Structure 1
Amino acid sequence: MATELLEIQPQVLKFTFEVKKQSSCSIQLGNNSNQYVAFKVKTTSPKKYCVRPNTGIIKPKATYDFTVTMQAQRVAPPDMQCKDKFLIQSTVVPFGTTEEDLTSDTFSKDGSKYIEEKKLRVILISPPPSPVLLPCNGALKQDPSSETLVQRLLSGVENIPPPRKVAEDAKLIETAEELDELRAAECVDSRPSDDVEGLKSVKNVVELNITKDFEDMKSKLNTMDSKLREAELTITKLTEERNMTTVEKDTLKDELEMLRKNNVRRIQMGFPLFYVCMVALISVAVGYLIHP
């Protein structure tokens, strides 16, 4: 194509690098064409950066902003050099296309459509030096001499203050440090009674809580002891009842055996009725035959 689809600002991603801190960089994409353009952002270190959003649709002659966030790093790279790169792909899509319509095939290089690619480098920048703060009437104020010195260093002007001025500044800083130490000592000396009273109150509260917990535990133990005693009595009663039942069972067995023996003896000692009747009938028949 004669003209580029997208205009990217900035061309280089600059991140202010601080250990264990995130850093963000905003990028603006401008659509130079009269058509809908879809874009996709890729990086060589996907776990290190977070791009929101990484795909989108840009209407004709419109702009689109997205943010790249560098995750917090534990160690600074050597010499603050970064080899990471970003790739922005763009292609023309039909009118009315939405972000939900974009797929992985939209940016595939199959030869039937034009895919424009632009690479962006990454540069790491050190954070600006913090200004020197000096105490003044209990409040921290910025030292004008340090601010002037930082401005001169940033502007490239080498203007070293005379030794007398440096000595005065050092003496002023030492005096400020001594004042801070004295104020800290005064604050510590002025609060011992409050701390002691606070400790006493905390101690009393802790003792009350411990006493309450001890009483609760004691009452629970007493309740458990009474329940155990009741259980022991119940077990003793059940044991006695079982023993009595066993004794009664044995007694009944003995009585049953005795009854069985008595019945056997009675059967052996007496004559059956049927036998007596048969003998009587036979005797009558014999008598009738003898005396017709």
Structure 2
Amino acid sequence: MFRRTMAGLATAVLATAALVACSNYDSDSVAEDCVPEHEFATDTDGILKVSTYSLPPYSEVLDRELSVDGTAFTVGGTLTGVDGDILADFAATECLEIEVHSTAAGAVLSTVQAGGADVGAGNWYRTTERAEILDLTEPIYADQVAIISPDGVSDFAQLQDKRVGTVVGYQYVADLRDYFADGLVLYNSPLTMFRALEDGDIDAAVDTVGVGREFTKENDLVVEAAEPFDQVSASLEPGQSAFVVQQGDDDLLAALNATVDRLRESGRLAEILEENGLDPSAAEPGEPRLIDG
């Protein structure tokens, strides 16, 4: 959901080497007679290393295990959320054990690029910048824009002359600034934005359906999918989420795409989205496209 920058994070790359030495792999969890659906290589035979960060309901790591050299990097635990459920299905059909590498959001992509993980997960948008340095799967789901307010507003036009908040770095900041001008208030994180909304400092917040529902579980704020609005392009064409892999890892990319296609065609992808509090219609993200950034 962020248009996150690709600034190099040296600590991420260095920590990756330490993570490789740690593993929560249990060879007994994959049946001896398991036959994978596709042929591809992973960094460690029998293990799918997934680099991710905490962004519920898309990705969340439960029961984190080993901290690496006192850093925020951990290895182990169970990956949950939409991306976790999809990758669990993928791993089961490909006879793999998932090894979760948890890190900061800004370090996920550089970890995959450096070869420290096979796959990057966590609602990563398909962008031109990422496509230059990584390979992206076909669109998995659409990240639908939402308006969160006390009264359940879904039309951006109803918020004109109101104070509206969003988060620095989101793809729709420029459009919202053009439309709301001085009425737009930027925050460094969804947490601070939703606190401001609860306190009445702003009249509404703009985020995604998933994040909105996550932050309104314990209050009376209402999350509404934004109606299409010409002046906010993301309401017309929401960001498309993808998994990321190293450039040239064509066999792994093809296997991931095949799993997503199968889940979509069977209806299971829509079920996963709904089970995680998202609109099942997001399982139809439209034709592949890249957004700037």
TM-score by length of 2: 0.19
Higher helix proportion (structure 1 or 2): 1
TM-score by length of 1: 0.19
Q: Which has the higher contact order (CA 8 A, sep 6+)?
A: 2
